[in-house]
Amino acid sequence: MQNTFLIQRTFKILAIAMGVVGVISLGACQSMKHGTGQQASAKLEPRSGSTTTGEVVFIWQGHDVMVTGKFAGLKPNAEQGFHVHEKGDCSAPDATSAGGHFNPDTKAHGMPNSKDSHAGDMPNIKSDANGNATYSAKLSGFSVDNSATGILGRSVVVHRDPDDYKSQPAGNSGPRVACGLIK
């Protein structure tokens, strides 16, 4: 009788333990599915004599990164190129110190999220009649960390003209009008 009681109690404890492990595993799976939540941001300041400013947030969501931003001082009712650049240096008056587009896989420049694009290629910013814009894009090809594909310590740049997504090496998007360090 006592052995039967111990066996039943042991099974009960195992069942509870398995339930707890299941809940923890489910939470881990949901965490993977919904991303790690690691994030970075950049405050963009004017370059090349422009008045363009902005703030951008990068949130890592598993294999994708959600990029959101707010901008002011853009050309009214226009599109402007927007990219992650390889160096975290916005010190030059024209932001050329930021280097080229972030491209850890040495791919051609192209449409964001396509198989042939730089990791730093992002959709154009579209401004309203007052030169303001909000931005939201879910992108892949980079991460929010310090790895080889990571964007921490790099820069994000707004260009004067729209990216045509085909001209090499950078989409013919013109001078750099705002730059910010990603941290």
Q: Is 63 marked active-site?
A: no
Q: Is 176 marked active-site?
A: yes
Q: Is 34 marked active-site?
A: no
Q: Is 160 marked active-site?
A: no
Identified catalytic residue from 101, 154, 160, 163? 101
- CB crowding 1-29: b at 16 or more within 10 Å, else e: eeeeeeeeeeeeeeeeeeeeeeeeeeeee
Identified catalytic residue from 47, 154, 159, 160? 159
Identified catalytic residue from 118, 154, 160, 163? 118
Q: Tell me the two tokens of residue 74.
A: 């853009």
Identified catalytic residue from 47, 154, 160, 176? 176
- Angle, CA of 142, 180 and 136, to the nearest 5°: 55
Identified catalytic residue from 63, 105, 109, 145? 109
Angstrom distance (rounded) from CA 48 to CA 159: 10
Q: Tell me the two tokens of residue 105.
A: 């896989």
Q: Is 94 marked active-site?
A: no
Angstrom distance (rounded) from CA 122 to CA 142: 11
Identified catalytic residue from 83, 154, 160, 163? 83
Candidates 168, 164, 155, 162; CA nearest to 47 is: 155
Identified catalytic residue from 47, 85, 154, 160? 85
CB 153 within 8 Å of CB 83? no
Known catalytic residues? Answer: 83, 85, 101, 109, 118, 121, 159, 176
